[in-house]
Structure 1
Amino acid sequence: MTNTKAPIDIIENLCSSISNNKPLNINLPENGLLHIDKLLPFICVYRFKKPDVYFSRLLKTQASYILAHESLDISNIIDAIRKESSKKFNTFLLIECWPDNESNSSKFKISCPVDKAPGTVKSLTEGFNELNDIYPNVSTEVSNTTIRHPKHLNSLINLEDSKKTGTLVFGISVPTLYKNDETEELYSLFFREFYTIFSETIKKAVFEFIRIQTSDDFKHYLMLGKTHIDDVTIQSDAELAEISSGMSFLLRTTPVNSTEEWEVFKKNKFKKTPSFKYRLIALDPELEKRKLYNIPMDKIEDPTIAFILRGKRLEIEKQLTMLEERGTKNFRFVGESLYGVIKKNVLKEAKKILKAFPKREEIKSKERYNCSEFAAHAQKELDYYNSKFPNLNLTLEVRNDVAGIMVSKTKLLINDQISLDANRCDALIQHEVATHILTYCNGKRQPLKQMYEGFEGYDQLQEGLAVLAEYLVGGLTVNRLRLLAGRVIAVNSMVNGADFIETFKLLKKKYNFSDRISYYITMRVYRGGGLTKDAVYLAGLIDLLKYLKKGGKLETLYTGKFNTNHIELIEELLHRNVLKSPELPRFLERKSVQERLQKLRKGIAISELVN
């Protein structure tokens, strides 16, 4: 039985924060916690005698919750929250949850007024039953009863009073399927799935309640999620970004003598496999892995962000293993688990491209730009985005130690000996500046460092988006498309057992790539012991075309650096206002670009992308 009222100062603090729309975290007696991320017409409650830390984590996935010891009477807290909520909303939902520790129980028991909120009941039932996909015999029982709290406790609100104040009360007894009843051992992997489904189900159920019962315009259930990121999440994200940035994976797996070995390879009439040299690895992969798994990701309360950060951690771990295995066959095998194997549809598209365009397209334009002329055009584009991101200092450098044109964060790097077709100038600028630099800048505006460092596998969508930009501005060429297809062919050749020279000859003789292009494609694929990553560029373009044809929002893709499998997560974080809407590339304002985008919406073959 409860006996101690919550202190008055807590109530005053609560009312002040809510009325000023500030996030609220208040420690309650006996290790309790009151959390309100933003003003919402609902709250979840868990009252405990001895807290179940894992059950507490279920409620912590919500934007509004109270964890309170049974000895504390929190009815005055509930009433204060309801009154503040009523200033904006005309009704309030109280969801009390408690663990059902009955041995072998797999039933969610929902106590509620069924006829008052059938949509909410349906959402809860359907949501919890989704656990059947990963755990057998999960069921949901709905009882139309006035007992909507643990039987040994009093109700948090008098049901007669609740009718007068427009408050609806739900009680949910939750089976503790995520742990062993006897040993209290946690089934960690299952628990992640469990709390993700629990989190989504509660939000969807509350959304149904709000949609029917209130006049406020919540357009999506994800808007009910947390907006503010806690300190543990910020710390984990920062530590992960530091390890990722310091690893310099691609730099340490790219030969430092590729140009010199090209000359030797040519001199030996393409009969002797090149001998590549690499930068020394100035870190200990084992120590970096130790740091990686000291990051407290198990304490992250937000299931979506936890999923994103865990994926990135796994990618970094595999890359560290690859650095340890550089120069061995294991390098390639770990890489395949990271970047995947070539899908049949990607290989099929690569062969279709090379069949449609069996030879290199000769450049008809006689006008060419040197490094200074290209830099002058690129600077105009950088100036525009500098006006949008005044704190980031977007610059360019002409130098002799880079190959062609590339981007490093907010800097465009241009080789001092470059000579390029003037007709390709705009396409290259939109590829490098309006895609790679712009998504980095948009990521920099976000609260998560991974938004600019890059999510797991972000290269695939980044390169697909960059090639798409070339098409949209009318500058995608046959040679560019052939190059992407050639990389897929080379990766496929390698994984099927061909050596460096066999793959080189395949590109040269069967697919008519020049000696030099065949060499550089092969070098990229065989570097480090075999890197399948180059196949993802065409895969990214294919995924992107499917996404646009299905009506996907192009604008979302500029929010930062992530992969296609993260798009729904990004949209969720945008709905929740965790992320800010991105600055869009200005080329999208062109009429010709909008016309080409409409063609993509209708669906076209990759070979039709050539301008």
Structure 2
Amino acid sequence: METTKLHNIDSSIIEDICNHISEGKPVNATLPENGLLHIDKLLPFICVYRYSELDVYFSRIIKTQASYLIISDDVDITHLLEAIRIIVSNKFETFLILEFWPEKDDKSNTFHISCPKGKAPATVAALKDGFESLQDFYPNIDVEIDDTHKRHPKHLVPIFDIDESKKKGTLIIGMTLPILYKNAESNELYSLFFREYYSVFSETVKRAVFEFIRVQTTDDFEHFLMLGKTNIDEVTLQSDRELAEVSEGMSFLLRTTPVNSNEEWKNFKKNKFDKIPSFKYRLIALDPELQKRKLYNIPIDEVDDPTIAFILRGKRLEIEKQLTMLEERGTKNFRFVGESLYGVIKKKVLEQAKHILAVYPKREEQKSKKRYSCYEFAEHAQKELDYYNDKFPDLDLSLEIRNDVAGIMVSKTKLLINDEISFDANRCDALIQHEVGTHILTYCNGRRQPLRQMYEGFEGYDQLQEGLAVIAEYLVGGLTVNRLRLLAGRVIAVESMVNGANFIKTFNLLRDKYSFSERISYYISMRVYRGGGLTKDAVYLAGLIDLMDYIKKGGALEHLYTGKFNITHIDLIEELLYRKVLVKAELPRFLERKSVQKRLKKLRKGMDITDLVN
């Protein structure tokens, strides 16, 4: 039985919406009966959900798209959609309306696609293929295609007359979606499957619309991901902001690094390397349980963008595990939780570590006797900082020479240099490009992005960051045997610890079998055994190996400077770049050098890791 529409949308509201669309502004309009219209940018399609009783989860599925209308079925939307169609058709010549509604039969597992026979077959095929991919999670799913004029819910009138819509260049496709993500009897949500369901829906619709545009319009969209959302809503920004605040306040590495490592080195040496050091740590000035409560009060479940929700959820899990590690600091559980966070050493990584140490069994003696004091090094580093200060005028890139840092390190936009250290002159450029041209630059690029995670760092971002920094050293001709041996030695030490060796056995292994100096063997071991056992140091060589493989396969190096993330996130970063959620990165200027371009060509052809040494 068809219902009579009771409410009209005021013409002034429609006019305001049309003005926004025409001016290229995003639309977020509240309509009668709590209706919602969202149009992220000018697009030749809209997803429609008309409801008698709102299904909150179904509406969340529709909200994954960049253009949607969610509205009570007693509101007349004909005039609104016709007005939108006219504006859209001026640019795209055609318009696609995708109407979705939930299947009333709770036991149904079939997606019904109602569309005209032979019309837009690529679009329909993309819908069918996409929904069938859910069979990987729910094997009994079926997809049926019906050639019918009835492309709307049975109890409603059609949005437009089908014959009239054809004359106006409008295609209407209706889809009944089975509610597989809820228990039919208890109405309980299968939350993990729901995430898969709305992720698949999000991609499937974009792929289908892309096929429609490719065939039916003259507009050139390069990739289906360009049809995704560009603008980020307040719930997403809030979740991102609160997550970053918890992460910042935790200071995980600071609280898991000994404060007495220098003193214990002296004691260790005094005791002839026969007494396990006793490391002391900063007091933990936070309650991990309270921080976890705060963490899970962050409304990530309300983030409608599947890609960003995935990123935030991954970071939340990392923070939760790090908080647990702080609780377990000094116990064996610290190591076990860390293994679940940083993973176990892959066979390939261990083999490459041993390969490096076999090819370079001894420490390389410094060839050049010329050394820079901390002040001379700072002078060179300042020139690089000045260059990037011009590129990022809103950020203060600077350096400090001080006595409370070990060696050199980066804190956000600041380069910190120990006041007693000296540097091999031949390594100066490599160190600057490692710290400034990689770590500071990716932070600055991240600050340009709308998400704080882009500069605070995604889950596991250290792995790619360090791989990228080491590659920078190679590209500028400053990667040394000792640097490569150090990365390999860390993997050996982690493997030794995981296999049950204590601090002294691992120290002896590094010193006696792999010819590391006593001091280097101590510091490698200290980093690995701190807190109760930290396997994180193995990821640096893993990051280098993964990055070399990525470059060899033709991966876009410029995308890697967009912010701080892991190599597993590259597809997500590329998606957000396509969608223009993220802006393109400022690239390191060393990439312009001819010598760097030659070395990059060698990387693209593929090379043995030991040949990275310059």
**Contact kept? 1:2, 1:70, Cα under 8 Å:** no
1:597 and 2:600 matched: yes
C-alpha deviation, 1:101, in angstroms: 2.7
AA at the equivalent of 1:325: E
**Contact kept? 1:109, 1:174, Cα under 8 Å:** yes
C-alpha deviation, 1:151, in angstroms: 1.1
For residues 336 and 371 of structure 1, the distance between their equivalents in structure 2, rounded to whole angstroms, comes to 37
For residues 310 and 146 of structure 1, the distance between their equivalents in structure 2, rounded to whole angstroms, comes to 42
Secondary structure at the counterpart of residue 398 of structure 1: strand
For residues 588 and 437 of structure 1, the distance between their equivalents in structure 2, rounded to whole angstroms, comes to 16
Choose which of 401, 405, 422 in structure 1 pairs with 2:404: 401
For residues 418 and 484 of structure 1, the distance between their equivalents in structure 2, rounded to whole angstroms, comes to 21
Secondary structure at the counterpart of residue 393 of structure 2: coil
- Which residue of the partner structure matches residue 542 of structure 1? 545
- Per-residue CA deviations over 1:322-376 (Å, capped at 9, x if unaligned) read 0000000000000000000100000000000000000000111011001000000
* More divergent stretch after superposition (268-277 vs 24-33): 24-33
Choose which of 354, 357, 367 in structure 1 pairs with 2:360: 357
Secondary structure at the counterpart of residue 169 of structure 1: strand
- Which residue of the partner structure matches residue 129 of structure 2? 126
AA at the equivalent of 1:557: L
For residues 474 and 165 of structure 1, the distance between their equivalents in structure 2, rounded to whole angstroms, comes to 63
Secondary structure at the counterpart of residue 114 of structure 1: coil
1:115 and 2:118 matched: yes
**Within-5 A mapping of 1:382-531:** 382-531=385-534
For residues 215 and 104 of structure 1, the distance between their equivalents in structure 2, rounded to whole angstroms, comes to 42
For residues 81 and 544 of structure 1, the distance between their equivalents in structure 2, rounded to whole angstroms, comes to 46
TM-score (normalizing by structure 2): 0.99
Choose which of 555, 564, 573 in structure 2 pairs with 1:552: 555
- Which residue of the partner structure matches residue 284 of structure 1? 287
For residues 314 and 40 of structure 1, the distance between their equivalents in structure 2, rounded to whole angstroms, comes to 35
- Which residue of the partner structure matches residue 31 of structure 1? 34
**Contact kept? 1:350, 1:485, Cα under 8 Å:** yes
* More divergent stretch after superposition (100-109 vs 459-468): 100-109
1:339 and 2:359 matched: no
Structure 2 residues not aligned, in runs of 5+: none
For residues 170 and 118 of structure 1, the distance between their equivalents in structure 2, rounded to whole angstroms, comes to 12
C-alpha deviation, 1:5, in angstroms: 2.3
- Which residue of the partner structure matches residue 92 of structure 1? 95
- Which residue of the partner structure matches residue 66 of structure 2? 63
AA at the equivalent of 1:322: M
**Contact kept? 1:432, 1:466, Cα under 8 Å:** yes
What is the Cα-based RMSD across aligned positions, in Å?
Answer: 0.6
- Which residue of the partner structure matches residue 265 of structure 1? 268
- Percent of matched pairs sharing the same residue: 73
**Contact kept? 2:446, 2:452, Cα under 8 Å:** yes
**Contact kept? 1:2, 1:73, Cα under 8 Å:** no
* More divergent stretch after superposition (177-186 vs 438-447): 177-186
**Contact kept? 2:402, 2:418, Cα under 8 Å:** yes
- Which residue of the partner structure matches residue 572 of structure 2? 569
For residues 367 and 48 of structure 2, the distance between their equivalents in structure 1, rounded to whole angstroms, comes to 71
- Which residue of the partner structure matches residue 256 of structure 1? 259
AA at the equivalent of 1:531: L
AA at the equivalent of 2:538: A
- Per-residue CA deviations over 1:150-199 (Å, capped at 9, x if unaligned) read 11111101111111111011001000000011211100010001000000
Please identify runs of 4+ aligned residues in structure 1 that moved more than 2 A.
Answer: none
Secondary structure at the counterpart of residue 48 of structure 2: strand
C-alpha deviation, 1:27, in angstroms: 1.2
Secondary structure at the counterpart of residue 10 of structure 1: helix
**Contact kept? 1:101, 1:181, Cα under 8 Å:** no
For residues 4 and 321 of structure 2, the distance between their equivalents in structure 1, rounded to whole angstroms, comes to 52
* More divergent stretch after superposition (451-460 vs 9-18): 9-18
C-alpha deviation, 1:214, in angstroms: 0.5
C-alpha deviation, 1:441, in angstroms: 0.1
For residues 138 and 354 of structure 2, the distance between their equivalents in structure 1, rounded to whole angstroms, comes to 43
1:81 and 2:84 matched: yes
For residues 67 and 199 of structure 2, the distance between their equivalents in structure 1, rounded to whole angstroms, comes to 16
Choose which of 5, 10, 21 in structure 1 pairs with 2:8: 5
**Contact kept? 2:106, 2:178, Cα under 8 Å:** no
AA at the equivalent of 1:73: D
AA at the equivalent of 1:150: P
C-alpha deviation, 1:114, in angstroms: 3.2
TM-score (normalizing by structure 1): 0.99
For residues 106 and 377 of structure 2, the distance between their equivalents in structure 1, rounded to whole angstroms, comes to 71
- Which residue of the partner structure matches residue 197 of structure 1? 200
**Within-5 A mapping of 1:162-177:** 162-177=165-180
For residues 127 and 13 of structure 2, the distance between their equivalents in structure 1, rounded to whole angstroms, comes to 32
1:583 and 2:586 matched: yes
